Amino acid sequence: MNFEVQLKEKKLKVTPQRMAILNEIQRNGHLGIEEIYENIRKIYPAISLATVYKNITSLYEVNLLREIKAPYQKQKYELACDRHIHVACEKCGKLEDVHIELNDAMSRCSDMTNYKLHDVSAVFLGICSDCASKAK
């Protein structure tokens, strides 16, 4: 996936700050605003937090980014390119992607509520295997 092309499609300018944000999120999978800011600052010390906020907002509005809202966690952002859900470890806070479909649940849900549904934000909560083995 080529960020330059995607940005141009969305009529957003290709600035170094914007590219840095996208690359940073791509590299890490899921990041909060403050983490994005701090990580980019290591390479690009002049970037301003306001710029990060503004970019997250605009990238979010054109659907290049997606918010992840998980219980017990701060808001995080990920690239919006593929659809998936998440698991979160309640011990260590780790968040991971899981590529499963919830289509059957979505259609059951649609039947029950009369909503036209097209997406889901789902986070399964539990204990990761690392934490489970440490606990013993």
d(CA 97, CA 8): 28
Structure tokens at 78: 């990920």
Residue 73 in the binding site for DNA (CB under 7 A): no
Residue 54 in the binding site for DNA (CB under 7 A): yes
Check if the beta carbon of residue 88 is closer than 8 Å to that of residue 123. yes
The residue within the footprint of DNA, chosen from 53, 92, 94, 134 (CB under 7 A), is 53
How many chain residues bind DNA (CB under 7 A)? 23
Residue 42 in the binding site for DNA (CB under 7 A): no
CB of 14 to DNA, least distance (A): 4
Residue range at the interface with its own copies (CB under 8 A); choices 11-19, 34-42, 44-52, 105-113: 105-113
What is the C-alpha R_g of the chain?
A: 17
d(CA 3, CA 63): 13
